[in-house]
Every structure is written in structure tokens, then in C-alpha cells.
């Protein structure tokens, strides 16, 4: 039965590879295979250690959070504690073991349900990581020799691959070749029976949770080396991906069934799908949807190993029949799925290829300008309304210039995902990469790699390290923004009083830069205006709402609340409106459309922003010029279509001054 499940899964993986080899450029290359493995290592380590846990009938939801805690331990000991890197890495493994020990004690020796314990320790570990760093500290600037572990190559394969293979081999031997492995299966089938058979159930369970903790620690070390940063949110949600891989690989969540081979295939099925969709410039969300369907299908069709009650341990002849049906059904499912992928891909492909196919035909000879420029443009988060509005301008410019625009990125803020997308673009071989950088240290290495492959690199909205890109499309200087915001606060306060700031997250680089300039401007021009408190909103409207409610109660003298993240301002406005405090004014940095109702109602006095559509437009124009060789270092201006001539200061393309929107002019803008 298990072998059949693995066979079906192997066919799924093979089908994915076959489809993407046809529809996705550069998918079937050695370099891409290496990147797929690199991306899979951290989750892979967690999934490998999780397999015996699930086989024993348990679960570990806390592994992703433990990865985060281990990662910041490593960063803090190295940077603040001055520990040498190998010692700090060992300490990270130690934290993983400690966390695993807590789970092991509660589950194995106190007999508590694993689901509950690890749900609690998930909150505890993540909370400790957030509390210890104030969710602010981001440990970067790690030594290159350490980063090489996560970013370098060893004989053409990513450095971390041997680690993954060793762990896979080790766990496979433990589970499938050692006496202990039989004990884990026995416990998963029936813990009570295993006890009577002489298995030391508590000890066996304890070592599994220790192993899972250790794997989380190891994954943390590799994560930090891979991304070049350690932050409290490292590995958020990895536990769900890892569990999905294990269950997709045929392990029964109720215990007793599952193999390492299955887990590896399950993981491959997921990462290949994601990587392939990315290379084919198809929406990456499809990967999640297909994975979910696949999981549900595998579960429903292979339900024989999934269902277990003590009585069914002895298989009835009925289940024998079921197996053959299962096999047939899995195959049908795979064929359907493959057909589905091909159909959707073709539709997309035809749509995106049609103009490209026409171009050489019309020009005859292939000149460098005949090929359409492909620009990959990445926001910090696709869902953020600020970036949604940038995209409109970018698409306008792409249509006007005949550029193929690929708009992709994390749905929510996620530095790891940004790296993943750029890697995919490099493999795909596009002309220009334009990134709004979420984390400098994490992405600069990848951007340098892109430049070394001859891809032009732009940053827009937020910058990488200067040597990692050709130009920055700068929407406004931090001085300009900070100064304008400080002036607005002072104007609304009548020159004296207290105000509060609701920022994005406390670690956001842009926002911290603005706050620095707000403080500088206050000190130089508005000495009687004081900044009472800064609260985080994590770019979440509801969080900004709740924070503002609390600010208004705890700091009654605050007369102006300023939001400096687009979704925060409507949240603040709603809180002020609901408080009935007409003496409190709201201002900040946000999008006109989001704030219009509040501006008209007189709750928001003013908002400060550049024209976001123009920012997207200018980025694509600059990318196009860069790819065509019309824009080089040393230029002092660029002809930007409907924006006219735009000034360039060294390596920065300047959009212009920020704009103040008020009740009088806000209806003239739609973004």
C-alpha cells in the first residue's frame, strides 16, 4: 500500500516536471534543480524530523516557531554577545534541543496531547522570540564565511544540500532500519499495546520531540546563513508546510503509517509545483490551491491507511479491494491534474507569447530591439493596497512601451519569499529585475547574482545595498517625507503639543528612516512639539485601530495621531471617529482612496504621499531604458513619457516632492 502511494506521488512529481519542462523557460536545467533544493532545505529538515513524530501518532506545531527562536539566539549571541560563530550556531542547536525537551517532557512524561502542547509552545517560542528582540532587532552583517553555508556552492550544488541528504539518510535509517523505528510504528498503531509489548513508550516519544527540536535548531542555522538575517518572525508558517509535505507523502495523521521516501516525494511535489509556476510566470497562488486539492485527493483516495481504529488493525478483505480502486483513482486524479495544469498553462502561454511571436515577423532581421523587454517587478507585499496602486501605473507604462511585465512577490511581507522569486527570475532569464526591498541583507546577495548574470537591477520604493543594483527609483527622499510629516503635525497642533505615531512594524527600515528625520525636523523647527509614543501596527488596519484606541486612553494629551504605513491611517481614523474625540486630528502617509471617506468627514485632516501610480510607471520606464541601453550611470535625466523629464541624482532616479492631500484636492486623485 505504502509503495503504491509513493508510486502515485512519484508519477505526480514526474508529471509536474514534464509539464514545466515544456511550458516554463529554463525549468529543466541543473542550476534550477539546485535552486529548488536550496529552497526546500529548511522546510525539508522540519518535515524529515516530523515524519517519525507523525508516525508515532503525535504532531509538532511548534517547529517553525522554534526555528525563529533559535535563529534570533544565534544572531543575538553572535552580535551582542560577541560569541564566535561556531559557538553561536551550537547554542542555536542547544535552544532547539531545549525547546524540544519542553515538548518532550509535557507530551511523553506528563501524557498531554501533542496537539495542545505544541500549540501552546508555538505561542511561547514565537512570543519569546518577539519579546526578547522587541520584534525589532534584525541581526544582519554576518561573516561571509558563515553566509557561504547558505548561499554558496560546493562543486556546483548548494552548500546546504549535503546537510539535508545526511539528515534524510539518518532519519531513514532510524525509522526504517533500526529497532527503534519499529517501536515508533508500534506506538503509532497502538501505544497501549506497544507498552505491553515492552516498548518504553515515554522514552521513545521523548527522543522524537528532542529530534524535532534539534532539526528546528539546525534549520535555523541554515535559514540565517541562507537569508543573511535573523528576525523574530523567521520560519512563520513553516510548520504547516512541513506537515502538508509529510501527510502528502502518505503518512497518516493518526499514526502508524508513513515513510521518509514519501515525505521527500511530498516535499518535492510541492516545491517543484511552486518553482515551475513561478518560472512559467503563472500565479504562485495556484501552487497552494493545487497542493490543497492534491492533499485532499490523496487523503480521500488513500483513506485506507488514514483511518484507523483499534479494531481495523486487522485488515478485512474489503480493504484489499479498495486498494486496487485506490490505485486506479489516484492515477485518474493525476492525469486530470496534469491536464488541468497543461490547459491553464497553455492558455497563459498563448496569451503572453502572441505579441512576442509577432515581433520578429514584422521586423524581419533580428535586431536587439526586436525582442520585447521582460521586466520582473516585485512589491514588498502584493496585497498591500499601496503596491496595488503602484501596479496600475506599472502596467500602464508596460502597455505603452510594449514591455512584458511580470508582477510577482510575497502576498504578505516575507523576506524569504522575495529571495525565492528573484532566484526564479534569474533562472527564467529576464531582462530587468525591479524590487521594492523588504530586507536589505537578505536580498542583496541574490540581486548581485542577478547582475553578474547580465540582468539589469533596479530597486524602487525601498533600497537594497547600493552596489547590488544599477539604480534606485526614489519616490521621495527620507528627509522630504520626514520633514513634510513633521511640518504637518506641527501645523495641526498649532505649533505646540503632543502627537503619537503608529508605524508599520518596529523593524521596518523605511519607516525608521522617516521617524529619524521627523525627530530631526522637530528638533530644528518645532521645539514645542513632542512625540509622545510610537506604536507598531504591522501594516494591519485592525491592529492600528486597536493601538489607537489604547493610545487615546493611555496618553490623553495626544492631539494628533500620525500613521506612517498606508493601511494604518484608516484604522487610526476609525478609532478616533469611534472615540468621539473631535479634538484629536489624524494625519500621515496613506493612499487617497483608502482615506477619502474620513477626509470628507473631517476625521483625517491631511495625508502625505507621492503619486504611487507614477512611481510604478517611472520604474517600468527606467527598466525599459536600462534594458535598451538608453540609461547608463552618469545620466542626469530620463525622458519618462507622460511624466516628462525626470531628474537623476547619481544612482537615484527622483520622482519629486511628496504631495499633501486635503479635503479640497483629494477628489482629483484616484489611487
Partner 1 sequence: MRPVRLALPALLALLALLAVLALLAPSFFAPDNLRDVVISNALVQIIAVGMTMVILTGQVDVAVGATAGVCAVLSATLAREGVPPVLAAMVATLAGGSIGLVSGVLVARLRLPSIVVTLALLVILRDGLRWATDGAWVGDLPVSFQWFGLGQGGGQTLLIGLTVAVIVAGAWFLRTTPLGRAVYATGSDAESAQLLGLRPDRVVMASFAACGLLTGLAAALNASRFAEVPGAITAGIEMKVIAAVVVGGTSITGGRGSIGGTVIGVALLGTIGTGLTFLGVSAYWERALQGAIILAAILYETVRRRRA
Site string for partner 1, 529-568 (x = CB under 8 A): -------x---xxx--xx--xx--xx------------x-
CB 408 within 8 A of CB 379: no
Closest to 208 in 3D by CA, of 123, 128, 116, 114: 114
Number of shown-chain residues binding partner 1 (CB under 8 A): 77
CA 206 to chain centroid, in Å, comes to 32
Report the residue from 29, 203, 366, 578 that binds partner 1 according to the rule CB under 8 A.
578
Rounded to an integer, what distance in angstroms lies between the CA atom of residue 108 and that of residue 207? 9
Round to whole Å and give the CA distance between 73 and 81.
Answer: 10
Q: Which of 190, 411, 477, 605 binds partner 1 (CB under 8 A)?
A: 411
Minimum distance from CB of 126 to partner 1 (Å)? 6
Q: Which is nearer to partner 1, 597 or 641 (CB)?
A: 597
The secondary structure of residue 372, as a DSSP letter, is P
| Among residues 94, 306, 340, 656, the one that binds partner 1 under rule CB under 8 A | 306
| Residues in 452-511 at the binding interface with partner 1, rule: CB under 8 A | none
Q: Is 295 in the site for partner 1 (CB under 8 A)?
A: yes
Using the minimum distance from each CB to partner 1, give the nearer residue, 109 or 153.
109
User: Binders of partner 1 among 133-152, rule CB under 8 A?
Assistant: 133-135
* Nearest distance, CB of residue 569 and partner 1, angstroms: 12
3-state secondary structure of 95: helix
| The only residue of 28, 33, 115, 531 in contact with partner 1, by rule CB under 8 A | 115
Greatest alpha-carbon span in the chain? 86
The residues, ordered by sequence, that sit 6+ positions from 220 with a Cβ below 8 Å of its Cβ are 66, 67, 68, 69, 70, 71, 73, 74, 92, 96, 230, 234, 235
Interacting positions 35-94 with partner 1 (CB under 8 A): 59
Q: Is 585 one of the binding residues for partner 1 (CB under 8 A)?
A: no
Whole-number Å distance between alpha carbons of 548 and 565:
14
* Nearest to 398, CA basis, from 670, 648, 617, 217: 617
Would you say 536 or 588 has its CB closer to partner 1?
Answer: 536
Please report whether residue 243 would count as binding partner 1 according to CB under 8 A: yes
Of the pair 112, 157, the CB lying nearest partner 1 is at 112
Complex with partner 1: residue 83 or 105, whichever CB lies closer: 105
Pairing type for strands 558-563 and 497-503 reads parallel
C-beta contacts of 153-158 below 8 A and 24+ residues apart: 153/34, 156/30, 156/34, 157/34, 157/37, 158/34, 158/35, 158/37, 158/38, 158/41
Nearer CB in complex with partner 1: 292/466: 292
CB of 485 to partner 1, least distance (A): 23
Contacts of 136 (CB under 8 A, 6+ apart): 506, 507
Residue 126: Cβ-neighbour burial (10 angstroms; 0-12, 13-18, 19+): buried
3-state helix, strand and coil shares in percent for the chain, rounded to the nearest 5? 60, 10, 25
> Would you say 131 or 355 has its CB closer to partner 1?
131
Q: Min. distance of Cβ 451 from partner 1 in angstroms?
A: 29
Residue 366, SS3 per DSSP: coil
Contacts of 550 (CB under 8 A, 6+ apart): 535
Q: Is 117 in the site for partner 1 (CB under 8 A)?
A: yes
Site string for partner 1, 385-404 (x = CB under 8 A): x--x----------------
Contact letters (x/-) for partner 1, 247-286, by CB under 8 A?
A: x----xxx----------------------------x-xx
Contacts to partner 1 from residues 592-651, by CB under 8 A: 593-594, 597-598
| Identity of the residue, 45 or 270, whose beta carbon is nearer to partner 1 in the bound complex | 270
Give the one residue of 220, 269, 381, 529 binding partner 1; rule: CB under 8 A.
381
Q: Which of 6, 423, 431, 574 binds partner 1 (CB under 8 A)?
A: 574
Q: Does the footprint of partner 1 cover residue 303 (CB under 8 A)?
A: yes
- Which segment (34-42, 86-94, 109-117, 418-426) binds partner 1 by CB under 8 A? 109-117
Beta bridge partners of 460: 473
Amino acid at each position: 500500500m505504502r509503495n503504491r502511494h509513493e508510486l502515485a506521488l512519484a508519477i505526480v512529481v514526474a508529471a509536474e516536471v514534464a509539464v514545466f519542462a515544456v511550458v516554463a523557460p529554463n525549468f529543466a536545467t541543473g542550476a534550477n534543480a539546485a535552486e529548488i533544493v536550496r529552497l526546500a532545505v529548511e522546510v525539508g529538515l522540519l518535515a524529515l524530523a516530523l515524519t517519525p513524530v507523525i508516525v508515532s501518532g503525535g504532531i509538532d506545531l511548534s517547529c517553525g516557531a522554534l526555528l525563529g527562536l533559535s535563529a534570533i539566539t544565534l544572531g543575538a549571541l553572535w552580535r551582542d554577545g560577541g560569541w564566535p560563530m561556531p559557538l553561536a550556531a551550537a547554542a542555536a542547536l542547544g535552544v532547539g534541543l531545549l525547546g524540544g525537551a519542553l515538548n518532550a517532557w509535557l507530551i511523553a512524561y506528563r501524557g498531554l496531547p501533542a496537539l495542545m502542547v505544541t500549540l501552546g509552545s508555538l505561542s511561547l517560542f514565537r512570543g519569546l522570540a518577539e519579546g526578547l528582540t522587541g520584534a525589532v532587532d534584525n541581526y544582519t552583517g554576518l561573516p561571509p564565511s558563515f553566509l557561504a553555508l547558505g548561499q554558496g556552492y560546493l562543486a556546483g550544488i548548494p552548500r546546504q544540500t549535503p546537510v539535508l541528504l545526511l539528515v534524510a539518510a539518518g532519519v531513514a535509517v532510524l525509522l526504517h532500519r533500526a529497532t527503534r523505528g519499529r517501536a515508533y510504528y508500534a506506538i503509532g498503531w497502538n501505544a497501549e499495546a506497544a507498552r505491553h509489548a515492552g516498548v518504553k513508550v515515554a522514552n521513545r516519544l521523548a527522543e522524537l520531540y528532542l529530534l524535532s527540536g534539534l532539526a528546528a535548531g539546525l534549520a535555523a542555522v541554515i535559514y540565517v546563513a541562507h537569508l543573511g538575517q535573523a528576525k523574530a518572525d523567521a520560519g512563520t508558517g513553516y510548520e504547516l508546510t512541513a506537515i502538508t509535505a509529510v501527510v502528502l507523502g502518505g503518512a497518516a495523521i493518526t499514526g502508524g503509517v508513513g515513510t521518509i521516501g514519501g515525505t521527500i516525494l511530498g516535499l518535492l511535489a510541492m516545491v517543484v509545483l511552486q518553482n515551475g509556476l513561478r518560472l512559467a510566470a503563472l500565479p504562485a497562488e495556484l501552487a497552494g490551491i493545487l497542493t490543497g486539492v492534491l492533499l485532499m485527493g490523496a487523503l480521500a483516495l488513500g483513506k485506507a491507511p488514514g483511518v484507523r481504529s483499534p479494531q481495523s488493525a486487522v485488515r478485512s478483505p474489503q480493504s484489499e479491494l479498495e486498494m486496487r480502486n485506490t490505485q486506479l483513482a489516484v492515477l485518474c486524479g493525476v492525469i486530470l491534474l496534469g491536464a488541468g495544469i497543461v490547459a491553464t498553462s497553455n492558455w497563459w502561454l498563448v496569451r503572453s507569447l502572441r505579441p512576442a511571436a509577432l515581433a520578429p515577423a514584422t521586423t524581419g532581421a533580428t535586431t536587439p530591439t526586436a525582442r520585447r523587454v521582460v521586466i520582473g517587478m516585485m512589491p514588498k507585499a502584493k496585497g498591500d493596497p499601496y503596491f496595488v496602486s503602484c501596479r496600475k501605473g506599472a502596467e500602464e507604462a508596460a502597455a505603452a512601451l510594449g514591455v512584458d511585465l511580470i508582477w510577482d512577490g510575497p502576498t504578505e511581507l516575507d523576506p524569504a519569499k522575495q529571495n525565492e522569486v528573484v532566484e526564479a527570475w534569474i533562472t527564467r532569464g529576464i531582462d530587468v529585475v525591479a524590487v521594492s526591498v523588504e530586507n536589505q541583507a537578505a536580498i542583496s546577495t541574490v540581486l548581485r547574482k542577478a547582475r553578474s548574470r547580465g540582468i539589469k537591477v533596479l530597486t524602487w520604493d525601498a533600497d537594497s545595498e547600493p552596489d547590488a543594483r544599477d539604480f534606485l527609483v526614489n519616490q521621495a527622499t527620507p528627509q522630504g517625507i520626514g520633514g513634510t510629516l513633521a511640518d504637518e503635525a506641527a501645523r495641526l497642533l498649532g505649533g505646540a503639543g503632543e502627537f503619537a505615531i503608529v508605524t508599520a512594524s518596529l523593524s521596518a527600515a523605511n519607516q525608521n528612516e522617516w521617524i529619524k528625520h521627523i525627530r530631526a525636523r522637530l528638533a530644528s523647527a518645532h521645539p514645542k512639539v513632542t512625540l509622545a509614543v510610537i506604536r507598531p501596527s504591522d501594516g494591519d488596519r485592525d491592529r492600528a485601530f486597536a493601538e489607537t484606541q489604547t493610545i487615546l486612553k493611555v496618553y490623553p494629551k495626544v492631539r494628533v495621531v500620525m500613521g506612517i504605513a498606508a493601511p494604518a491611517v484608516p484604522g487610526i481614523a476609525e478609532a478616533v471617529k469611534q472615540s468621539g474625540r473631535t479634538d484629536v486630528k489624524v494625519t500621515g502617509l496613506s493612499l487617497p482612496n483608502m482615506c477619502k471617506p474620513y477626509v470628507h468627514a473631517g476625521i483625517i485632516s491631511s495625508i502625505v504621499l507621492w503619486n504611487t501610480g507614477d512611481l510604478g510607471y517611472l520604474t517600468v520606464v527606467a527598466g525599459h531604458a536600462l534594458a535598451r541601453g538608453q540609461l547608463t550611470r552618469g545620466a542626469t535625466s530620463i525622458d519618462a513619457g507622460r511624466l516628462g523629464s525626470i531628474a537623476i541624482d547619481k544612482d537615484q532616479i527622483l520622482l519629486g516632492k511628496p504631495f499633501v492631500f486635503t479635503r479640497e484636492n483629494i477628489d482629483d486623485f484616484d489611487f
